[in-house]
Structure formats: C-alpha cells, structure tokens
Structure 1
Amino acid sequence: MKLSDVQRRLQAPFSAHLVGWKPTAFTKDRSRALLLAYVDARAVQDRLDAVCPDGWSFEIEVIAGASMPTVKGRLTVLGVTREDIGEGGEGTGSLNGGGTLKAAASDALKRCAVQFGVGRYLYDLPKTWAEWNDAKREPAQTPELPEWARPDFERSPGGAHIVQAMDQLRYEIPVDLDLQREVYRHLKAALQSLEPESGRAA
C-alpha cells in the first residue's frame, strides 16, 4: 500500500459530531464569539488507525528554551514523513505539569496530519460569529457545517445521528448477546431507511 492509494480516505471530511468550535475573538460583553472549526488529536489518530492501522507512527522532540511548551512532531505515514511544530498554549505549568506538553504534542500531531490532508478542508471553512455561552465556555448553538464539509453518508436525513450512535457503540458495546442483536436490527433498519432499495421488482 502506498500513500497515494489512501490519500482520498485521509482527506475525507470528519463526521459533524467530531468537529469542534473554538473561539478566536469575543464581543466586549462576551455574548458572541468568532468561532474556528477544529478536530482533536484523538479524531486524527482514529482516522490514521482506520486508513492505515499499521502504517503510521508519531514522534516528538521537546524544544528547549521556548516561551511556552513546544515540540517538534514527526509523523510518518506509509513511509512518508512530515514535520511541524506544536505549542502547548499559554499556561503557568512547567513542562512536566498542567498538561501543556501533552497539548503541544497534540497540536504537533494535528499540524503534521494536515500535511497529509487530514482535516485540511477545515481551513477552508469561514470563521463564524455565533452566540456564546460564556458560563459553559461553548457556543450557545453548534454552527451548521456546509454540505461539502460533511461526509457523504451524513448528507442523508438522519445519517449523522446513526453514525454518532455507531461511534458510541465502539466504546459501549453491550455485553449481552441478545442486546447486541437487538442493536444490530435497529441499526440495519435505520441504514436501510437512509438508502431505500431501488429497482426492486414489484
């Protein structure tokens, strides 16, 4: 397998529920925020695992003397390597505390992955002003992604909800076999309702 064989799968849009929104600016009363779309490092890792589970690796090197925790990341996918810098953000903790070095490593992974096309389309999304819930530190309502920024299966009514349920089942699969079969029957029926069979003989 070569990188060119999996490029389209790496570049594919993420499910909408995996896309988060972080503020880059606020109004004076913090009732509205200018939001930027992003995915977290776990989603990037899951994408790499899904496309080439045994074909990628990631290494970091701590950069000493930086004003904030900073690392150089090196991501190798199917023999091709890309490097980029990750920063831990503003923080008062040391490199060994506060989780800031971990944040730098996550930032580096995402920046390296973008060079392979993972999540690169998010840079094409316009920044969006939206109502902001400052108490919860999140948008009052999640912005809607345009059609082109969603995977094909989510462009059908109900598709996003089914995919979210399937993702959740990966981590919370029922132990009881009869319950597993019941979940399977419901998912199968839901998927068939999204893409009804055509051309069936009357």
Structure 2
Amino acid sequence: MDISKLTAPLLPADIEWRVQTLIESKDNKPAKMIVVPYINNRSVMERFDEQFGWANWTNEIKEVEGGFLCTITVKLATGEVVSKTDGASRTAIEPVKGGISDAMKRAAVHFGLGRSLYNFPKVFIEVGGKYIPDWATRLLDALVDSINSGKPQRDVIVLKEEHISRLQPPKPQLRVAA
C-alpha cells in the first residue's frame, strides 16, 4: 500500500503548537514554556484527499463513555478496503469537537500521518506569559523546516527572542496537489 503522501514531511502550515507546561521564573532563571506540536484536523483531511481522493475514504465517529472512537476507512487502487480505529477523550475546551478531532488525528497516525511528530525534540520557549508569541512561531516554523531537511536535532531546544535575528527570510511553501 503506497502511503507516501500521508507520510511525507509535514509543512509548518500543517503543524500547530500548544503550550503543554508553564515554568515560572526563579533563581534568576527566566520563565519558560514547553510547547508540543500537533497536526490540525483539516490537514488530516487534506492529506487523505491527496492520497486516496475525496471519494475513496471515510471516517466514522462513535461516542463511547468519556470520549469518541474514529474509524478511518480507505479504498485502495486495488479495491482493497483498509480501516484503522483509535479514540480520544473529550477535551476540556469544546469537548465534543475537540474529542472527535483528536480521535480522528489519532486514527490517522495508524496510517503514518503525523507519526513523525512523536520524534520532535522537546521545545522550551524562554518567555513569560501563557501564549506563544509571534516571534516564537517563526522560530518554530524554522525548526520544522530544519527537521524536514534532515539536519540532526538536539533532544532539547530552547528558543529565545534573540534567535529571531538569525533567521533567513521565509521561503514560500507550496504543497503539490494530487
């Protein structure tokens, strides 16, 4: 089964970041946040459309106690049908929509989509506050480009605002349509 479009590197536009942990400043050390990458559900649907065609895959959502199961079923060019299922809990914000999206993203990982995110380095952003600043988003996009280029990465990355001056101007990123 060819799944090359699903397993192709994710572009920065496909990846979103969320704050996992806030670390307060203490002992003359600045405040930091730990951020983690995730693929958004629209990117999941776009990749499945590109790989199989919009009419050759479906998702089925079932509500279970405390969350949702999503089964993604694809029809291969050979006519063979393959299904993968995974689940997720209701989320704290938008419990139904968030739970359904998370279940679908987790099912997509079974097809290889987004699996590379589990190998990303641990990322700290040296900043106070609870939101990812714009300058850090630019650095995170550059990190994704660096990972996609195959450059070796450290296990832990600390991003600081002063690093923004080292960035090259962003290159336009285009996804080739199927």
TM-score for both structures, normalised by structure 1: 0.63
Cα offset for 1:159?
A: 7.6
* Equivalent residue number for residue 83 of structure 2: 81
One-letter code aligned to 2:38:
Y
% same residue: 25
For 2:45 and 2:149, locate their aligned partners in 1 and report how far apart those are by CA, in whole Å: 19
CA gap of 1:160–1:46, structure 2 versus 1, over 3 A, is farther
* Equivalent residue number for residue 17 of structure 2: 21
Deviations 1:119-158 (A, max 9, x none): 11111111211134636x224512222534369xxxxx87
One-letter code aligned to 2:88:
G
Cα offset for 1:50?
A: 1.3
* Equivalent residue number for residue 149 of structure 1: 148
For 2:96 and 2:22, locate their aligned partners in 1 and report how far apart those are by CA, in whole Å: 27
Cα offset for 1:80?
A: 0.7
* Equivalent residue number for residue 178 of structure 1: none
User: Is 1:61 equivalent to 2:62 in the alignment?
Assistant: yes
Counterpart contact for 1:58–1:76, Cα < 8 Å: yes
CA gap of 1:26–1:61, structure 2 versus 1, over 3 A, is same
For 1:23 and 1:60, locate their aligned partners in 2 and report how far apart those are by CA, in whole Å: 27
CA gap of 1:89–1:102, structure 2 versus 1, over 3 A, is same
* Equivalent residue number for residue 195 of structure 1: none
For 1:150 and 1:43, locate their aligned partners in 2 and report how far apart those are by CA, in whole Å: 20
* Equivalent residue number for residue 198 of structure 1: none
One-letter code aligned to 1:44:
V
The gaps in structure 2 that reach 5 residues or longer are 76-80, 151-167
Counterpart contact for 1:23–1:35, Cα < 8 Å: yes
One-letter code aligned to 1:121:
S
Counterpart contact for 1:16–1:160, Cα < 8 Å: no
Deviations 1:142-200 (A, max 9, x none): 2222534369xxxxx87842428x99xxxxxxxxxxxxxxxxxxxxxxxxxxxxxxxxx
Across the two proteins, how many residue pairs are aligned to each other? Answer: 145
Q: Give 3-state SS (helix, strand or coil) of 1:163's partner.
A: coil
Q: Give 3-state SS (helix, strand or coil) of 1:42's partner.
A: helix
Counterpart contact for 2:12–2:145, Cα < 8 Å: no
One-letter code aligned to 1:21:
W
For the pair shown, the structure with the greater C-alpha radius of gyration is 1
- After TM superposition, which residue ranges in structure 1, 4 or more long, deviate above 6 angstroms? none
TM-score for both structures, normalised by structure 2: 0.70
More helix by proportion, 1 or 2?
1
For 1:150 and 1:119, locate their aligned partners in 2 and report how far apart those are by CA, in whole Å: 16
* Equivalent residue number for residue 43 of structure 1: 43
Q: Mean alpha-carbon deviation: is it higher for 81-90 or for 24-33?
A: 24-33
Q: Give 3-state SS (helix, strand or coil) of 2:136's partner.
A: coil
The gaps in structure 1 that reach 5 residues or longer are 92-98, 152-156, 168-202
CA gap of 1:104–1:146, structure 2 versus 1, over 3 A, is same
Q: Give 3-state SS (helix, strand or coil) of 2:144's partner.
A: coil
For 2:97 and 2:119, locate their aligned partners in 1 and report how far apart those are by CA, in whole Å: 27
Counterpart contact for 2:68–2:103, Cα < 8 Å: yes
